[in-house]
Structure 1
Amino acid sequence: MDAAPALTTSLLAALACVVVVMTATALRARQLGVVAVVDVAWGLGFVIVAAVTALVGLAADGADWHRWLVLAMVAAWGGRLAWHVRSRAVGQHGGKEDPRYEEMLGGSLQEVGLGTAVRRVFAVQGTAQWFVSVPVAVGAVLALEHTWVLVLGVVVWATGLVFEAVGDRQLAAYMSRPRDERPPVMDQGLWGWTRHPNYFGDACVWWGLWLAAAASTGWVAGLATVLCPVAMTLFLRNVTGAKLLEKRMSQRDGWDEYAARVPMFFPRPPRS
Structure 2
Amino acid sequence: MRREMGSVRNAALAFIVPWPSILFYIVFLKLYEPSTSEIWRWCSAHPIALVNALFFFNVNVLFWVISLLQNNTWLIDLYWTVLPVMMAHYYSSHPYSQTNLWRSRIVIILTWVWSIRLTHNYFRREEWQWGAREDWRFADMRKKYPNNWWWMSFFAVYVSQQIFLVGVCLPIYAVHNSQHPWTALDYFATLVCTVGIVFAYFADTQLYNFVQKKKLLRELGAPTKPNLEEGLWAFSRHPNYFGEQLWWWGLVIYAWNVGQGWTFLGAAVNTCCLAWVTVLVERKMVAEQYRTKEYKKYQETTSVWIPWFKLKPQIKKNLKKT
Interval containing the TM-score (normalised by the shorter chain):
0.7 to 0.9
1:263 lines up with 2:300 in the alignment? no
1:84 lines up with 2:126 in the alignment? no
Q: TM-score, normalised by structure 2?
A: 0.71
**Deviation for aligned residue 1:50:** 1.1
What pairs with 1:112-123 in structure 2 (closer than 5 Å)? 112-123=148-159
1:162 lines up with 2:204 in the alignment? no
- The verdict on how the C-alpha distance between 1:46 and 1:60 changes in structure 2, with shifts beyond 3 A counting, is closer
Check conservation: 2:167, 2:266, Cα contact below 8 A. Answer: yes
Check conservation: 1:193, 1:267, Cα contact below 8 A. Answer: yes
Residue correspondences, number: 261
Which of 221, 225, 240 lines up with 1:183 in the alignment? 225
Q: TM-score, normalised by structure 1?
A: 0.83
**1:12-37 deviation digits (Å, cap 9, x = unpaired):** 24324433234443344334432243
Provide the rounded CA distance (Å) in 2 between the counterparts of 1:140 and 1:237: 29
SS at match of 2:307: coil
What pairs with 1:1-40 in structure 2 (closer than 5 Å)? 9-19=46-56, 20-40=58-78
- RMSD after superposition: 3.0
Which of 170, 187, 192 lines up with 1:151 in the alignment? 187
Which residue in 2 is equivalent to 1:127? 163
One-letter code aligned to 2:163: T
- The verdict on how the C-alpha distance between 1:89 and 1:13 changes in structure 2, with shifts beyond 3 A counting, is farther
Identical-residue share of aligned pairs (%): 23
**Deviation for aligned residue 1:145:** 3.5
Provide the rounded CA distance (Å) in 2 between the counterparts of 1:150 and 1:8: 27
| Structure number with bigger Rg | 2
More contact order relative to length (CA 8 Å, sep ≥ 6): 1
Check conservation: 2:203, 2:232, Cα contact below 8 A. Answer: yes
Check conservation: 1:43, 1:78, Cα contact below 8 A. Answer: yes
**Deviation for aligned residue 1:264:** 1.1
List alignment gaps of at least 5 residues for structure 2.
Answer: 1-32, 34-41, 313-322
Which residue in 2 is equivalent to 1:197? 239
List alignment gaps of at least 5 residues for structure 1.
Answer: none
Provide the rounded CA distance (Å) in 2 between the counterparts of 1:32 and 1:49: 27
- The verdict on how the C-alpha distance between 1:226 and 1:106 changes in structure 2, with shifts beyond 3 A counting, is same
- The verdict on how the C-alpha distance between 1:93 and 1:141 changes in structure 2, with shifts beyond 3 A counting, is closer
Which of 264, 267, 279 lines up with 1:229 in the alignment? 267
